[in-house]
Structure 1
Amino acid sequence: MSGLTNRQLAGVAGAGSAALLLAALTFQHFGYAPCELCILQRWPHLAAAVLGLGIWAFGWKRGLAVLGLLAALTAVAFAIFHTGVELKLWQGPSHCSGGISGMTTMSANDLMAQLQAAPVVRCDEAAWSLFGISMAGWNAICSAVLSGIWAGSVFRRA
């Protein structure tokens, strides 16, 4: 990657975050419902993808690249936290469960039926893993690589 310009590095890093988002949505499409921490991990990738696209389209600006690096580092932190929750190293949110809309307007029977049908997605159980590494673990690894690419864009001489 040393032959790439700072602008190209930022574009590659942003595209990497977009690819991770697409992968998460693909898993979700195939039945792997995300927990609260999974959703939380998506936001920094969205920010990094938008920043990378903006830099790619409009030109490299160090300030935007720094924001991209911070977004990627935030993704690493969220993914490490989630991985630690899955490994029972620390406590996660106690309220990881599916949401119910329209609670104020439904009858008690309808509310009870919807509560029973709502998927409960636990943050402390890995829904999928590859080589013993959960999706959150893979996100931590990939996000760390993307952070390195963002850092190359930020700290390399233009």
Structure 2
Amino acid sequence: MTTPLPRSDKLAQRLALAIPALLLAGAYVSEYGFGLFPCEMCWWQRYPHFAAIGLALISTFAAQKRMWIGLAALAIAISGAIGAFHAGVEYGWWPSPLGCTGSNPFSLEFVRCDEAAWSLFGISLAGWNALLSIGSAVAIWVLLLAKERA
């Protein structure tokens, strides 16, 4: 018989699944609903979120749940770090390692990675991903470190 997860671990597990799922949903709504097609660096930010969802799902049935939740948080943080780097490219703080273009599958135009396609309060989508992902990863780790028991 397995022992139940402490409440803080349950919340961490739910966040580790919900945050990347919501951020990916937002990315796809932006892309298919509003025509904000991703550049190559935008895609780089999505991959760790896919991994985080997989790791969070594994944590629902595998042993060592806390390890899997922590790894999901690490993947979320990696996406945030990539987002922070991408935002720096958009703001001109440093150069891109790429030619700053990605192809739009629905046209012959290229999507530049050094120009923000959209921003809110002066923060680009990459910047928002950085803030939300890194903040969420820290919150998940804090919950996992909580001394609370079931």
TM-score (norm. length: structure 2): 0.83
Deviation at 1:62, TM superposition (A): 2.4
CA distance in 2, matches of 1:79, 1:50: 20
Match of 1:43 in 2: 47
- Contact 1:13–1:149, Cα closer than 8 Å, also in 2: no
Aligned position for 1:106: none
**Which residue pairs with 1:73 in the alignment?**
77
Any unmatched runs of 5+ in structure 1? 101-116
Instruction: Return the alpha-carbon distance in structure 1 between the equivalents of residues 10 and 120 of structure 2.
Output: 33
Give the equivalent residue in structure 2 for 1:13: 16
In structure 2, which of residues 78, 88, 94 is the aligned counterpart of residue 90 of structure 1?
Answer: 94
Q: How well do the aligned residues superpose, as a CA RMSD in angstroms? A: 2.2
The Cα shift of 1:9 comes to: 1.4
**Identity rate of aligned residues, in percent?**
38
Matched, 1:64 2:75: no
Matched residue type, 1:136? A
Larger radius of gyration: 1
Alpha carbons 1:35, 1:96 under 8 Å: kept: yes
Q: What letter matches 2:76 in structure 1?
A: A
> Any idea what the Cα deviations from partners look like across 1:52-75, whole Å, max 9, x if unmatched?
2332x3266122122112201211
1:100-145 Cα distance to aligned partner (Å, 9 max, x none): 8xxxxxxxxxxxxxxxx51210000000001111000100111012
| More strand per residue | 2
Higher mean C-alpha deviation, range 140-149 or range 22-31 = 140-149
Question: Per the alignment, in what secondary structure is the counterpart of residue 35 of structure 2?
Answer: coil
- 1:134 and 1:89 map into 2 onto residues whose CA distance is 14
Secondary structure of 2:101 counterpart:
coil
Q: Matched residues in 2 for 1:54 and 1:72: separation?
A: 15
* Alignment size in residue pairs: 140
1:86, 1:9 → 2: CA distance?
A: 32
Distance 1:123 1:67 in 2: 28
Counterpart residue type for residue 129 of structure 1: S
Any residues of structure 2 matched to 1:12-31 within 5 Å, and which? 12-29=15-32, 30-31=34-35
How many Å separate the matches in 2 of 1:149 and 1:95? 32
User: Which amino acid counterpart does residue 12 of structure 1 have in structure 2?
Assistant: L
